[in-house]
Amino acid sequence: MCEFTAKSGDLSVRFTPVPTAQQGIAGHHILAARRGADYQREIALTGRYGALIVRGRADGYDPERQVLEEFKTHRGDLSRMPANQRGLHWAQLKIYGALLCVERSLTELDLALVYFDIKSEEETALAEHYTAAELQSHFEDHCRRFLDWAMCEMAHRARRDEFLVALTFPHEALRAGQRQMAEAVYRAAVGGRALMAQAPTGIGKTIGTLFPLLKAAPKQKLDKVFFLVAKTSGRMLALDAVRQLAPAQLAPAQSECDAGAEVPLRTLEPPLRTLEMVAKESACEYPGRACEAASCPLARGFYDRLASARAQALESAMLDREGVRRVALEHQVCPYYLTQELARWCDVLVGDYNYFFDTSAILHALTAQNQWRVGLLVDEAHNLLTRARDMYSATLDPAGLEAAHTGAPAAIKAQLRDVQRAWRAIHGVQIEDYAVHAEIPVAFIAALQRATTLIADDMAVDPATVNEPLLRFYFDAIHFCRTAEEFGSHSLFDVTQAGADSTMCIRNVNPGPFLSARFGACVTSTLFSATLAPQAYYRQLLGLPDNTEWINVDSPFHERQLHVRVEPRISTRYRDRPDSVAPIVELMAQQYRAEPGNYLAFFSSFDYLQAVLRVFGARHPDIMTWEQVRGMAGADRNAFLARFTTHSRGIGFAVLGGAFAEGIDLPGERLIGAFIATLGLPQVNDVNAEIERRLETLFGSGYEYTYLYPGLQKVIQAAGRVIRTTSDRGTVFLIDDRYMGAQVRALLPEWWRVQCN
């Protein structure tokens, strides 16, 4: 309540170290132990204001001195604490004071904010005296403001649920596969279960999952629906689906008008608030400036203007990036942090996977803090496996340590040298260039923790003294230490040596143990993709419950639409690639001349792509070609796709698993075929060999889980670019003799008609 009603002043999010939760708990124990025998600890308090019940737990009360205390831990100079943070602490303590006065019939009370420095273990007490009447007035003021807002939110919730009960599908009917999928999503939501849905492109998965989950929301008393995506294009599709399901409408502005007069119209917003979550870098109006009053004008007085900005924003149902930005700039507040605030009050939240699955994900934190009942939709869920592995991995490289050492204060330099010595000790006992170690050396983690503590203490005294390389190393080291605390059979600790240097990595192999808690926080979860098989592979590695439902949605496409041809006379294995170039070139040219149009050609690497492109250009200069290059910027990617028109002819060369192998839409004549000159298997190297061994130990399917399933998933995604609608026609060439194998053929979509050239 106080977080909502008592925050004022400037926004300040410049990084300064704060105690961890464990340090905070330890600090509270130390302070409580210093109090007398009659001191009362952890006092549960409850009060009421109208329909509002207020509960809290005060840290301690000294009945002899009649002092109520609230403990707060901190690091460094207390005077650097922002005034609005201390004001929030006082507001909280005064609420506790009001509740205590009522409960114990007190007429007056001393309140003390006790700040405890976790490094020096010194406490600073700020005391004030209040009458019970003053505290009651404070209590009622904050309750009244919160209750006014809460009543509005309750009314919104009632209107929202009524709207969702009456919600109808925006088109004449659901398509066959779309209906099958929607029914499964609804059953899973009502039953409070998880669902995996493999559904082909073109059936309308986005609206086919959102509609049934929203319909189930009132019955399941869902507070929020999270629609999580891997790419920006997925966000746009989700927002468009909500616009179709809950469109704004025009209505007369007044019920009575003069005869013959033109009736003015006003926009009626649906009672369903949808928020687009956007990365800070994309939302920032002043890139490069610190998020504090001295640097950014949108941080000055942020909390003083937040209430009016929030109220105006929530008058709109569709709060996409531009909508939030417009309101934010009108009220001169930061768009990114306004979005963070609006997340608490919106019904449908659309954003990247990291907002819920990352180690510091805001939506997961808010779900736990507010005990929200959440329905989760995960779009293109095959991408979550790789993304989650990255989230729960950590890397330290010697260049980062060296950059941090340069320009660091003397005391920190000395500790960083200790880190270097512990690092070299690991390096010294390793003979191979790459090796996996059974444990993370305790001495190294201890040295790293001491370094982060010193850096934190230095920043607590004066944040300006810490340079950018040192701060970057600090964050990397903190993440490495936290990841080390969770180290287990789900991860590898490996060291890669290059000369005198070595890179250390805690490499997550199985993110399931981490993700399972996230799915457990949801009432229902639906993961969907065109490539979500085999079922056990994704269920196990994503940490889904054993009773997760599975549905393989019937395809709306038929085998006459797509000719899938295997070319078994060509091997694309690494050793055979030089000999494969000329046959691939002639196969592509032969198909193009037989059926001119737009094609995509996919290869396993940029080097392989370039080798084929050079020969193709030399032998067939009359056929237009264009290529994907390393590190393509957004504008260049758009230009690549713009070459595919209904009137163009040519072949686009791309890398399998890259930007053009999934998530792009080129219907009709814009794309009539694809050549896939690879099986898509990940590279055979030391790292993947270790991952294969670990997955074999965990699941008994090391080769399949490491190579075969990830490779075929990329192939099917790439081939899926060709047929996008029920009227499309096209051809896909699978170039490699291994496509003839029974195990590989069994993983291809059932509706494909596969022929051998």
Which residue in this structure is represented by tokens 């994907």?
628
pLDDT at res. 82: 82
Task: Tell me if residue 294 falls in helix, strand or coil.
Answer: coil
Q: Which of 102-106, 197-201, 258-262 has the highest mean pLDDT?
A: 102-106
Residue 465 has pLDDT above 80, yes or no: no
pLDDT at 480 over 90: yes
How far apart CA 476 and CA 452 sit, in angstroms, is: 10
Question: Picking from 174-178, 271-275, 706-710, which range would have the lowest pLDDT averaged per residue?
Answer: 174-178
The answer on pLDDT for 275 being more than 80 is: yes
What are 624-643's pLDDT values in tens digits? 999 999 999 889 999 999 99
What pLDDT is attached to residue 258?
54
Interval 401-420: pLDDT, tens: 999 999 888 889 999 999 99
* 70 pLDDT more than 70: yes
Q: Is the dihedral of CA 635, 637, 643, 644 positive or negative?
A: negative
Q: In this prediction, what percent of the chain has a pLDDT beyond 70? A: 97
Taken in order 714, 716, 717, 719, the sign of the CA dihedral is positive
Cite the beta strand spans of 233-272 per DSSP E.
249-252, 265-268
Q: Which residue from 41, 42, 26 is spatially nearest to 118, judged by alpha carbons? A: 26
Q: Would you tell me the crossing angle of helices 176-191 and 205-220 to the nearest 10 degrees? A: 30
Q: How confident is the model at residue 290 (pLDDT cuts 50, 70, 90)?
A: confident
Q: Mean per-residue pLDDT for 4-29?
A: 82
Residue with the two structure tokens 């009917």: 173
Token pair, residue 425, equals 């000790």
Q: What is the mean pLDDT of residues 53-72?
A: 94
Is the preceding peptide bond at 534 cis, omega within 30 degrees of 0? Answer: yes
Q: How confident is the model at residue 80 (pLDDT cuts 50, 70, 90)?
A: confident
Handedness of CA 591, 593, 598, 603 (dihedral sign): positive
With 60 as the cut, is the pLDDT of residue 257 above it? Answer: no
pLDDT band at 168 (very low <50, low <70, confident <90, very high): very high
336-350 per-position pLDDT tens digit: 999 999 999 999 999
Q: Where would I find the beta strands (DSSP E) of 88-166? A: 108-117, 123-131
Give me the phi and psi of 655, to 5 degrees please: -100, 130
* 507 SS3 class: strand
Q: Is the pLDDT of residue 576 over 70?
A: yes
Q: Is the pLDDT of residue 283 over 90?
A: yes
- Write the pLDDT tens digit of every residue in 645-675: 999 999 999 999 999 999 888 999 999 999 9
Mean of per-residue pLDDT scores for the chain = 93
- 498-to-329, 397, 433, 439 alpha-carbon distances in Å: 50, 11, 7, 21
Q: Classify 753 as helix, strand or coil.
A: strand
Flag whether pLDDT at 539 surpasses 70.
Answer: yes
User: Does residue 261 carry a pLDDT above 60?
Assistant: no
Does 255 score more than 70 pLDDT?
Answer: no
3-state class of 108 per DSSP?
Answer: strand
For residues 174 and 125, the model is more confident at: 125
Q: What is the DSSP pairing of strand 123-131 with strand 108-117?
A: antiparallel
Percent of the chain with pLDDT over 90: 81
In the structure, what pLDDT confidence band is assigned to residue 250 with cuts at 50, 70 and 90?
A: low
pLDDT at site 263: 57
pLDDT at 251 over 70: no
pLDDT of residue 118: 87
Task: Tell me which residue has tokens 């009456």.
Answer: 166
- Answer whether residue 446 shows pLDDT above 90: yes
> b or e along 242-269 (b: 16 or more beta carbons within 10 Å of the residue's beta carbon)?
bbebbeeeeeeeeeeeeeeeeeeeeeeb
Is residue 422 within 8 A of residue 444, CB to CB? The reply is: yes
Closest by CA position to 138, among listed 49, 254, 65, 39: 49
Q: Give, for 735, the enclosing helix (H) or strand (E).
A: strand 730-735
640 C-beta neighbours (distance < 10 Å), count: 20
The span from the CA of 472 to the CA of 406, in Å, is: 13
Residue 159 has pLDDT above 80, yes or no: yes
- Asked if residue 253 has pLDDT above 70, the reply is no
Sequence-distant (≥ 6) Cβ neighbours of residue 153 within 8 angstroms? 345
Which of 13-22, 25-34, 149-158, 425-434 has the least mean pLDDT? Answer: 13-22
| Beta bridge partner(s), residue 675 | 601, 733
- Cα–Cα distance, 319 to 348 (Å, whole number): 10
Give the containing element (helix H, strand E) for 690. helix 686-699
The CA-atom distances, in angstroms, between 254 and each of 251, 261, 271, 750 are 9, 12, 20, 58
Structure token pair of residue 284:
């920032």
Q: Which tokens in the block code for residue 4?
A: 């909502």
Retrieve residue 217's tokens.
Answer: 């929301």
Mean pLDDT for 120-128 is 93
